Structure 1
Amino acid sequence: MQTYRPNEFAKLIAKTTNTLQRWDREGILKAHRSPTNRRFYTHDQLSEILGVKASKRIALSYCRVSSHGQKDDLRTQQRAVADFCIHAGIAIDEAVTEIGGGLNLKRKQFVRIMALVESRAIHTLVIAHKDRLARFGMDWFEHFLEQHDCKLVVINNEALSPESEMVQDLMAIVHCFSCRLYGLRDYKKLIKEAVIHENPDSV
């Protein structure tokens, strides 16, 4: 039986460990206890929280845009995915939409979907373009889905992946590394000043 530590379980259901502790006290979701009195949760509890029926696995579609200003793009994406599924004979049990950046891997619905995949509740995941799921690291996510018997269907329609999002994500990456670079320079400056302070004769 697969078990999870409280911090692992909290991440899978997009809650905090404080929430789990409160649920435990209030009897909403009682934690199991090890012989050393450490709390843990089971796979069955994960399935229960996620609303997964052990006897049924589902097909799920996922559509995403980065900002609220792209709601028209989101509707277009939804229609394209729905039409594709109809023509491909894929019966979708749940159509999930989300607004959030492709670099953000803490998106609420994204985290929920990964938890459902891990619990083997999804047999098929349909997306319009690979970057709708995640901007980078798709090789790992594809491997993760495969290891949990979830088929990934990618329409691969580049028109459903706004170029403006790519520009925004690239700018965010450049900004992040620029800040780190400047921080590193400041750090080197502080080290140099500390060395001079400790060894004034070295100047």
Structure 2
Amino acid sequence: MGDINMKAKEVLELLKISRPTLTKYVKEGKIRVTVMPNGFYDYNEEDVYKIFMKGVERKTYIYARVSTQKQKKDLENQIELLKQFCFNKGYKIHGVFSDIASGISFEKRNEFFKMLDDVLAGKVERVIIAYKDRLSRAGFELFKHLFRKFNTEIVVVSEVGNEKLDSQEIIEEIISLLHCYSIKFYSKRKIQKIRKLLESEVFEDNSQESRTDTDK
């Protein structure tokens, strides 16, 4: 959230308060404001969410994923592993979310987006996953950064996993994320441009790795 600001209407709707109460919060220094050129106020998002989250029960969610229907038993085992982990840690589980979809098929991960809605609403204290790639292979750090902005911790039960990422899969996953989050803002032409940039960067990285291996 940081220096991002909100409009008065957004603050009133989120906090479910009246305008006089909002004015009171500003006078008390609870919400910082930025005076815009037109004389209106923009309200500091971080301050707004601090107030919002005081009245919200913070939840613990677990999220599991497998790629195909044939792995359904693996999905069940994954969920049991996460439940046992929560039991051992003393975490009360408020929600179990799971998807059967490949890592690059974000549009098919309906449960993930249900969970994400609650994260973005500031309702989730922690999300527990078995491995990093259950959430995202290429975009894990991106989600970690995003969740942290809403005071949500991602807990990874095991660091064991497929750490070697296929270059094409990285590209496809990022493109899939762009389609899910930014399809309204990116034309097909821009998507293709981004794809080419990513491919060139991955090719360059692979070339550097090859040169390094040769030097060894």
TM-score bracket, normalised by the shorter chain, equals 0.5 to 0.7
Q: For 1:45-194, what aligned pairs fall within 5 Å after superposition? A: 55-106=56-107, 107-156=109-158, 158=160, 169=169
Deviation sequence 1:20-70 (CA, Å, 0-9, x none): xxxxxxxxxxxxx9xxxxxxxx5479xxxxxxxx53121100011111110
Rg (Cα) greater in structure: 1
SS of 2:112's equivalent in the other structure is: helix
Specify the code of the residue in structure 2 equivalent to 1:145. F
C-alpha contact 1:60 1:93 (8 A) present in aligned 2: yes
Partner AA of 1:112 in structure 2: K
Q: CA 1:105 to 1:44, structure 2 compared with 1: closer, same or farther past 3 Å?
A: farther
Which contiguous aligned blocks of 4+ residues in structure 1 show a shift greater than 3 angstroms? 42-45
8 Å Cα contact 2:56/2:123 also seen in 1: no
Q: Once the 2 structures are TM-superposed, how far is the Cα of residue 81 of structure 1 from its aligned partner?
A: 0.9
Structure with the larger RCO, 1 or 2 (CA within 8 Å, 6+ apart): 1
Identical-residue share of aligned pairs (%): 26
Q: What is the CA deviation profile of residues 70-96 of structure 1, one whole-angstrom value per residue up to 9, with x for unaligned ones? A: 011101111111111111222111111
Which secondary structure does the structure 2 equivalent of 1:95 belong to?
Answer: strand
Q: Is the contact made by 1:103 and 1:136 (CA closer than 8 Å) also made in structure 2? A: no
TM-score, scaled to structure 1: 0.53
Query: Cα gap change, 1:79/1:157 in structure 2, threshold over 3 Å: closer, same or farther?
Result: farther
SS of equivalent to 1:117: helix
Count matched residues.
135
| Residue 157 (structure 1) shift | 5.1
Q: What is the letter of the counterpart of residue 89 of structure 1? A: G
Q: Quick one: which amino acid aligns to residue 60 of structure 2?
A: A
The gaps in structure 1 that reach 5 residues or longer are: 5-32, 34-41, 46-53, 182-203
**1:141–1:125 Cα change, 3 Å:** same
Gaps (5+ residues) in structure 2? 17-54, 174-191, 197-216
Distance 2:5 2:111 in 1: 23
What TM-score do the two structures reach when normalised by structure 2? 0.50
Q: Distance in 1 between matches of 2:169 and 2:85?
A: 27
How far the C-alpha of 1:100 sits from its partner, in A, is: 1.0
